[in-house]
Structure 1
Amino acid sequence: MVGHEERLKEKSKGLKSKFEKKLLFFEIMEKWIHHFERWIHEQPKEQLYTTILVVVTTFLIVVIYRILNRSQRNTIVLSGLSGGGKTILFYQLRDGTPHQGTVTSMEPNIGTFVLHSELEKKGKIKPIHLVDVPGHSRLRPMLDDFLPKAAGIIFVVDALDFLPNCRAAAEYLYDILTKSSVVRKKVPVLILCNKTDKVTAHSKEFIRKQLEKEIDKLRTSRTAVSSADVTNEYTLGVPSEVFTFSQCHNKVVVADASGLTGEVSQVEQFIREHVKP
């Protein structure tokens, strides 16, 4: 019985302590409010109006910026080595034709449009902002201008002429997958095996496995480089485990397509998963 009474006393002390803390908090808040009201009354009206105007304007700028920033997330970036067929894919998605006779791009192809396959659809459809970044090594830094706004990245691989370019493709893909603008926002990546309509083209499963092997080698070699020479902020994979794309910070999927024949349904599916109609 005595123990029960002691517990009740301790509980009442605890409640009293909490009440006193809340009371003290409200007293402090009341003093701050009183000081703030007095400060307002002491200010010249012109200065007060200016302060209010600045605060309201700043708030509106922040809100508008966030709205615009969200609306810009309809950008899809086409990247990959030269000769992979990025430009043909760009025209297929926009016009429904490969525009045969295109040459290697030296400037980005940029367009905002509704996918050609959706032109006949009824209702409002959100256009995509598609950027085809040249694959030449000297022009790849252009990629950094578009990645911060990317809703998705399509990395185009030449499935017909893959093996001679496997190492170079893996290096380029490694750089993309370790960029802070891609990792922090978890930008999804589609590895697109193009030209799969050709009989001698490699399968997407073969290409995926070969790229994973090459990236696994790159992890080892680049980890050995001194931190002063490493430009990437992130590393790939799990230490002491063989690398697979499933270990990436962002979602990486592999698909196939043929820009020349117009078989781009998997590309369009990827785009619409990340740029809602």
Structure 2
Amino acid sequence: MEVDRMEQLKNQILHWKNQIRPWLHQGEELIHQIPPTQLYAAIGAVLLTTFFLLLFRLFKRTKFNTIVLAGLSGSGKTVLFYQLRDGSSHQGTVTSMEPNEGTFVLHSEITKKGKIKPIHIVDVPGHSRLRPKLDEFLPRAAGVVFVVDALEFLPNCRAASEYLYDILTRVSFVKKKTPVLILCNKVDKVTAHTKEFIRKQLEKEIDKFRASRTAISDADVANEYTLGVPGEAFAFSQCHNKVTVAEASGLTGDISQLEQFIREYVKS
């Protein structure tokens, strides 16, 4: 019985082969009739179209899931990193000399049902000599969180403003329109400054930097975007990158506004 079935299948395949053969023969004759230059041009057009379609699909599917934590040393970036990762402050940690980097599901979302997209979080050291490391991560950032110490803000206002100015004026960063969250950390302390006060002071300082850098060299102009509107006082609302301000307390674990920003730009 099994032998009969195999014989029938074999005969069916031979039948199909005999039916297809004339079509293949006609196809070969048609190809030979086409001038070589036209044939090569047609093949090239098909290959080129296929390549661009694949490239388009790949580019369309590329969605960044990296969130960069930047800011001055001591602002509390590393505490926030650990709160996001495992819900602990690690006793305040110490000043980071190397980036803290990890890909994980946010601690607050571990118990949620369904598929949760992991976030790639990078905590870039705030020391001035180590800031160039920021260049490694900004190109693939879905969002940048600029952490400000709300408790010791005034003594560090100028330095924080200059660092933020340098980020917001990078041509490549502006072209990508990467969103920025200015996160006022340590607001649990009674003497901490409010986010509105911090926002206004940062805007005033950045306005001063903008005015003082009008005589930069041509080489710098190529790599630096001019902030604000000429003749008007600077405001974050004038930036091409969306800039928002929020509050947090890394030590107490009050980071809901930070998590909201992350999930706005890295969807589950």
TM-score, normalised with respect to structure 1: 0.78
Shift of the 40–168 alpha-carbon distance from structure 1 to 2, 3 Å rule, reads farther
Partners of 1:48 and 1:183 in 2: CA distance: 40
Letter of the structure 2 residue corresponding to residue 122 of structure 1: K
Deviation sequence 1:242-268 (CA, Å, 0-9, x none)? 111111111111111010000000000
> Superposition pairs for residues 157-236 of structure 1, below 5 Å?
157-230=148-221, 232-236=223-227
Is the counterpart of residue 62 in structure 1 residue 58 in structure 2? Answer: no
Letter of the structure 1 residue corresponding to residue 194 of structure 2: S
Partners of 2:61 and 2:238 in 1: CA distance: 32
Corresponding residue to 1:88 among 76, 79, 87:
79
Corresponding residue to 1:263 among 249, 254, 258:
254
Partners of 1:59 and 1:249 in 2: CA distance: 30
Decide whether the 8 Å contact of 2:79 with 2:92 is kept in 1: no
Decide whether the 8 Å contact of 1:196 with 1:203 is kept in 2: yes
Letter of the structure 2 residue corresponding to residue 113 of structure 1: F
Offset, 1:40: 8.9
The equivalent of 2:136 in structure 1 is 145
Deviation sequence 1:178-224 (CA, Å, 0-9, x none)? 11232112111000011111111111111111100000000000113
Shift of the 246–60 alpha-carbon distance from structure 1 to 2, 3 Å rule, reads closer
> Identity over the aligned pairs, expressed in percent?
71
Q: Which runs of 5+ in 1 are unaligned?
A: 1-36
Shift of the 208–54 alpha-carbon distance from structure 1 to 2, 3 Å rule, reads same
SS in 1 for 2:34: helix
Decide whether the 8 Å contact of 1:147 with 1:181 is kept in 2: no
Letter of the structure 2 residue corresponding to residue 79 of structure 1: A
Partners of 1:146 and 1:138 in 2: CA distance: 16
Partners of 2:76 and 2:59 in 1: CA distance: 35
Letter of the structure 2 residue corresponding to residue 140 of structure 1: R
Decide whether the 8 Å contact of 1:175 with 1:232 is kept in 2: no
Shift of the 86–92 alpha-carbon distance from structure 1 to 2, 3 Å rule, reads same
Offset, 1:228: 3.7
SS in 2 for 1:100: helix
Partners of 1:87 and 1:51 in 2: CA distance: 53
Partners of 2:182 and 2:57 in 1: CA distance: 34
SS in 2 for 1:156: strand
Deviation sequence 1:86-136 (CA, Å, 0-9, x none)? 011000001011111521111111111111101111111111111111111
Is the counterpart of residue 241 in structure 1 residue 237 in structure 2? Answer: no
Name the Cα RMSD after superposition: 2.6
Q: Which runs of 5+ in 2 are unaligned?
A: 1-29
SS in 2 for 1:224: coil
Decide whether the 8 Å contact of 1:256 with 1:266 is kept in 2: yes
TM-score, normalised with respect to structure 2: 0.80
Shift of the 53–226 alpha-carbon distance from structure 1 to 2, 3 Å rule, reads closer
